[in-house]
Amino acid sequence: MPPTQSSRTSRQRVKDGGTSAKSPSPRGARPSRGTVTLSDVAELAGVSSMTVSRVLNRPETVAPETVETVRKAIARTGYVPNLLAGALATTRTKLVAAIVPTISGSIFAACIQSLTDRLEVAGYQMLLGLSGYPAAREEGLLNAILSRRPDALFLTGTTHSAQSRRRLRGAKIPIVETWDLSAKPIDMAVGFSHQRVGRDAAQFLFKKGYRRFAAIGAEDERAKIRWKSYLAALTELGVDDVASITTPAPTNLWMGRDGLSKLIADGFTHGAVFCSSDALAHGVLVEAQARGLSVPGDIAVIGFGDLDFAAFTVPALTTVRIDRFAVGRLAAEAILSRLAGEPVAEKVIDVGFQIIEREST
């Protein structure tokens, strides 16, 4: 085992020219618990702590043999830098914080994955905050996160309290709002238009020849925008009697089954159903199957999200695909170029979406 603790007591070189407290200070913070510090390394190497710092950060400014000596001392002591101290001195934490509602649903997980991957190669770490679904905790979470002085922020959605927006502006760091493009961004935005998703879905179905329509929509902030826009687009197309059902968020398959049951009870036995999520759409398919309805013959279904399972298992499900990895990747690029001082090409990046049609099988 490398001499960590012991190197503090039994010192070969009694240099003692520094500020290192020899006598136990009568007051002040308690001595650090046996952690190896820069000056421990410096002492062992017989140089000043500044030199060690330089070896770590800009070795090219230090004489090669000094570097060698210091490197050995670092290895021998098992020194682990304290980025807290470094960050305090430089006001740069090399930390990027991300706030997402949840990570377990795999919708945001992909974003976080590509974001983290990209940031990591640039030497940044990820501070993850989960705000819960109705973004209930965002306020407090934001405070806790800003307390750690991240160099940049990745947010989900564009609806924040006035208080939050003020704090965010005050932080004066690069901020990317994702997953939505509707509002004016605080700083930068990467996402797509939920409004256009709804509209395009309506037009897509209309062009396919459907004339009877229904919708099952979650009461989630963004989901609402989608299905309301769908309804609005249908109205513009001259379709007025759209049966529509709302469900709480987050959605699941059972809500979709229930939804179709209700629609059928209301007399909707054939036509196209827009669902604000794939989970709902999936439920509709299952219910249709259970009732012996053909898809898309009797009932056509369009979902949203293109979740993994949908791609493989629900060949009859048409859905709207968002490249979730692209969201994270583009957000990372935006953050990094900002952090590098480069001007960002576009403050608002639309990743767009695709309507993936699956009818065969």
Query: Binding to a second copy by residue 172, rule CB under 8 A?
Result: yes
Binding at 312: pick from a second copy, DNA, none (beta carbon under 5-8 Å per type)? a second copy
User: Letter for the amino acid at 228?
Assistant: K
Nearer to DNA, 140 or 315 (CB): 140
Binding at 224: pick from DNA, a second copy, none (beta carbon under 5-8 Å per type)? none
Distance CA(49)–CA(351), nearest Å, equals 48
Question: Smallest Cα–Cα separation from 53: which of 62, 33, 31, 7?
Answer: 62
18-25, Cβ contacts within 8 angstroms, sequence gap of 24 or more: 18/48, 18/49
- Candidate segments 20-28, 213-221, 271-279, 281-289, binder of DNA by CB under 7 A: 20-28
Pattern 89-128, binding to a second copy, x per CB under 8 A? x-x-x-x------xxxxx--xx-xxx-xx--x--x-xxxx
Pattern 31-60, binding to a second copy, x per CB under 8 A? -xx-x-------------------------
81-87, Cβ contacts within 8 angstroms, sequence gap of 24 or more: 81/38, 81/56, 82/35, 82/37, 87/149
Contacts of 15 (CB under 8 A, 6+ apart): 43, 46
In whole angstroms, how large is the CA radius of gyration of the chain? 28
Nearer to DNA, 62 or 260 (CB): 62
Residue list 238-277, contact with a second copy (CB under 8 A): 253
Nearer to DNA, 50 or 290 (CB): 50
> Strands 354-356 and 319-321, how do they pair?
antiparallel
Residue with tokens 């976080």: 112
Nearer to a second copy, 298 or 308 (CB): 308
Nearer to DNA, 67 or 109 (CB): 67
CB of 81: closest distance to DNA in angstroms?
Answer: 5
HSE toward the beta carbon, residue 31, CA cutoff 13 A: 14
Instruction: Round to the nearest angstrom and report the end-to-end CA distance of the chain.
Output: 64
Query: Binding to DNA by residue 340, rule CB under 7 A?
Result: no
The vertex-356 CA angle with 353 and 360, nearest 5°, equals 180
Distance CA(111)–CA(107), nearest Å, equals 8
Query: Binding to DNA by residue 343, rule CB under 7 A?
Result: no
Residue 354 tokens read as 């695709």
Query: Binding to DNA by residue 50, rule CB under 7 A?
Result: yes
Whether 135 and 322 have beta carbons less than 8 Å apart is answered as no
Interface residues toward a second copy, by CB under 8 A: 4, 29, 32-33, 35, 78, 80-85, 87-89, 91, 93, 95, 102-106, 109-110, 112-114, 116-117, 120, 123, 125-130, 137, 141, 143-149, 166-167, 170-172, 253, 282, 286, 307-309, 312-314, 325
Interface residues toward DNA, by CB under 7 A: 17-19, 21, 25-32, 35, 37-39, 47-51, 53-54, 56-57, 61-63, 66, 81-82, 85-86, 88-91
